[in-house]
Structure 1
Amino acid sequence: MKPRRIFHVPRFAPLRRKSPLPIWLTLLLRLLLVLGLLGIVLAVHWFDRGGLRDNMDGHVSFVDVLYFTMITVTTVGFGDIVPVTDRARMFDTFVVTPIRLFVWLLFLGTAYDFMFKRLWEKFRMSMIQRNLKDHVVVTGFGTSGSEAARELIARGTPPDRIVAIDGRNAALGEAEELGLSVLEGDSTRDATLKAVHIEHARAMIISAGRDDTSILIVLTARSLAPDLPISVVIRSEDNEALARQAGATTVINPVSFAGLLLAGSTQGSHIAEYMADLAAADGRVALNERPVTAEEIGRPLSSIATGLGLRIYRDGKPHGAWDDAASELRAGDVIVEIKPRRPRP
């Protein structure tokens, strides 16, 4: 998923669907295809056995034809039985040789699909999982989850430091297109979150689509990573308190937030635009949260040089720039400020 980039729909984006055929049936169909091709070559060689010559005894039997067919299709032959007529040679040139190449490709492709590919993918995934650290886990890759991932990338998070978890193959395909690491699974289960090393993650974003599922994921993640910052999308106002009790650090209600923007727009045509400008990575200004520095301790919030101070958090409680608490910054304060966005080169 590096600087902000614009994502275009590819010219050719094939649909992906899990094959309805079990592995054993796929192997059986490939075997039948090979046997069918061998049968065609065997039949032609038998009916045209007069075009073959056996350099050993001069007689071409059915066993000789079967032997010659198998050797010719799988190798280039040993020279003990050879085609001598033009018709037999043309058949071997334009029919048997392509079949030989196709059979080899079919065997190699089968070996790759069912052996080497699986082993390689297993090895690659184990290496990715082993190196997962300081990453962001996005569970539920729907509209909100995918937009959050895109915004993280736009803000500078490398795509390979984002892990998407979803139970839908189509959603994971979209995540792969963005360059994310993906895991198909149920995020309410300990094993799934352990597989993405949730204990080493930098943050977690939960957008499961259902409030009960999202809250259960919060409980599961919090039990495995007590200090992990967890942001969760909750659609019912009644469930916001439950999400916080479950351990969510930040609870976002998209319906309520949209209502706030709509109501604010009635008081001025630029309020909603400015709020979106603050939230988006491509805006001209940006919200920033950071701890107070040693040089700022004892000074008022209005004097910070990094941006426009809006609020401080002291002992978990917010204080606005106009409050008395903001007149003197203390160690441990967290500052929320507005900073100008750096122009892109």
Structure 2
Amino acid sequence: MLLAVGLIGVALAVHWFDRDGLRQSSGAPITFPDVLYFTMITITTVGYGDIVPVTTEARLFDALVVTPIRIFVWLIFLGSAYDFLFKRVGEQWRMNVIQRNLDGHVVVAGYGTSGAEAVTELVSRGAKPETIVVIDDSPAALQAAEACGTTVMAGNATRNAALEAARIDRARALIVAAGRDDTSILIVLTARRLAPNVPISVVIRSGDNEAIAYQAGANTVINPASFAGLLLAGSTHGAHIAEYMADLAADDGRVGLNERLVTADEVGKPLAEIRTGLGHRIYRGGRMFCFWEPEAKQLEAGDTIIEVVPREGVRAVP
């Protein structure tokens, strides 16, 4: 708009100072309102002929300067109309199509270092990038996430509207990596109210806030500093302990952790006899039992098994 006003101002100024080169069909003297009228009509249309340039200089100015200004002004207005109307309507239509198809997806709130690593790991484990929805209010972060093929949504994940737009109630899981503990916990609270059953994993950097994150509704709380501490402490008890722990967590390791439900043919058998991997734990009725405990001697229907399997045996993310 400023550029358009500036171009019109240039034409108006030149027409006013060269008003002796203009003539009215009525023969009346040229006044400033006449110059303003002639300038606006000439720039927006080809004119009505009631005021015309009569000198060579005035005609050359209209031909060589006003005509390009007319073209630029129209392009500016058309570009603005496209940006404010067509582009936004098209973007809204595209988002509506995306939202209708969102089901069983993973929502990532925050695309900083942890969020980006989580997306990379999800994709390397078999998740299709388009089934990952990244919410962030940083254009640079959204651009980086979109370059990975993910679905991106600009917004503040602490607000209901952003999570509702990402169809959090139909998501398979939510990963919260906002970069600040208070923001992450607020996202967890908002998401838990909108989707009571969605699994929520959150990155918390302060140990004092881990309990608060669980109280807010998080199912899993990850503390990067604590995990690094585990690896460092493990390395002091054996040269290969930290390596094995990293091997379990990374996608490019030789082994991996797998979580699955017990199968019908495994019911009644001990955890040690499963054929898919090495059983470590079972979860039954909200309680956890390790492989040496009596409850692990006989698997029951509905048990969830945590096992260590060869990397190719890790179930791919749908």
**TM-score by shorter chain over 0.5:** yes
The Cα offsets for residues 16-45 of structure 1, whole Å up to 9 and x where unpaired, read as xxxxxxxxxxx2x03214414645896899
Query: Normalized against structure 1, the TM-score is what?
Result: 0.72
- State how far apart, in whole Å, the 2-side matches of 1:47 and 1:307 are: 95
**2:171 matches 1:201:** yes
- State how far apart, in whole Å, the 2-side matches of 1:288 and 1:175 are: 27
- Of stretches 300-309 and 254-263 in structure 1, the one that deviates more from structure 2 is 300-309
31, 38, 42: which one aligns with 2:4:
31
What secondary structure sits across from 2:312 in the alignment?
coil
Structure 2: any 5+ residue segments left out of the alignment?
A: 314-318
**2:223 matches 1:253:** yes
108, 114, 122: which one aligns with 1:138:
108
Change (3 A) 1:289 1:99: same
**2:274 matches 1:300:** no
**Equivalent residues of 1:151, 1:281 under 8 A apart:** yes
The aligned residue for residue 143 of structure 2 is: 173
What secondary structure sits across from 1:342 in the alignment?
helix
The Cα offsets for residues 125-158 of structure 1, whole Å up to 9 and x where unpaired, read as 2332333221212223222122112222222222
Q: How far did residue 88 of structure 1 move?
A: 10
The Cα offsets for residues 191-219 of structure 1, whole Å up to 9 and x where unpaired, read as 33223222111111122333333333322
- Of stretches 208-217 and 263-272 in structure 1, the one that deviates more from structure 2 is 208-217
The aligned residue for residue 185 of structure 1 is: 156
What secondary structure sits across from 1:305 in the alignment?
coil
Which letter maps to 2:218? A
122, 138, 141: which one aligns with 2:92:
122
Change (3 A) 1:77 1:35: closer
The aligned residue for residue 222 of structure 1 is: 192
**Equivalent residues of 1:41, 1:96 under 8 A apart:** no
- Of stretches 263-272 and 206-215 in structure 1, the one that deviates more from structure 2 is 206-215
Q: How far did residue 289 of structure 1 move?
A: 0.5
Change (3 A) 1:190 1:87: closer
**Equivalent residues of 2:278, 2:307 under 8 A apart:** yes
**Equivalent residues of 1:172, 1:184 under 8 A apart:** no
Change (3 A) 1:132 1:48: same
- Of stretches 69-78 and 192-201 in structure 1, the one that deviates more from structure 2 is 69-78
**Equivalent residues of 2:7, 2:69 under 8 A apart:** no
Number of residue-to-residue matches in the alignment:
310
The aligned residue for residue 13 of structure 1 is: none
Structure 1: any 5+ residue segments left out of the alignment?
A: 1-26, 50-56
Which letter maps to 1:32? V
* Equivalent residue runs for 1:329-344 within 5 Å: 329-342=299-312
**Equivalent residues of 1:45, 1:69 under 8 A apart:** no
- State how far apart, in whole Å, the 2-side matches of 1:269 and 1:77 are: 87
**Equivalent residues of 2:12, 2:36 under 8 A apart:** no
- State how far apart, in whole Å, the 2-side matches of 1:94 and 1:337 are: 78
**Equivalent residues of 2:4, 2:76 under 8 A apart:** no
- State how far apart, in whole Å, the 2-side matches of 1:112 and 1:318 are: 58
**Equivalent residues of 1:138, 1:204 under 8 A apart:** yes
- State how far apart, in whole Å, the 1-side matches of 2:263 and 2:193 are: 32
The Cα offsets for residues 262-297 of structure 1, whole Å up to 9 and x where unpaired, read as 111122333222222221223232211110111111
Which letter maps to 2:107? V
**Equivalent residues of 2:138, 2:154 under 8 A apart:** no
**Equivalent residues of 1:218, 1:246 under 8 A apart:** yes
**Equivalent residues of 1:207, 1:214 under 8 A apart:** yes
The Cα offsets for residues 283-323 of structure 1, whole Å up to 9 and x where unpaired, read as 23221111011111122223322223222222222222333
The aligned residue for residue 291 of structure 2 is: 321
What secondary structure sits across from 1:141 in the alignment?
coil
- State how far apart, in whole Å, the 1-side matches of 2:297 and 2:238 are: 30
The aligned residue for residue 249 of structure 2 is: 279
Q: How far did residue 242 of structure 1 move?
A: 2.7
Query: Normalized against structure 2, the TM-score is what?
Result: 0.78
- State how far apart, in whole Å, the 2-side matches of 1:302 and 1:76 are: 89
**Equivalent residues of 1:166, 1:186 under 8 A apart:** yes
- State how far apart, in whole Å, the 1-side matches of 2:11 and 2:146 are: 40
Q: How far did residue 97 of structure 1 move?
A: 6.4
The Cα offsets for residues 85-125 of structure 1, whole Å up to 9 and x where unpaired, read as x9999988876765554344323212112221122222222
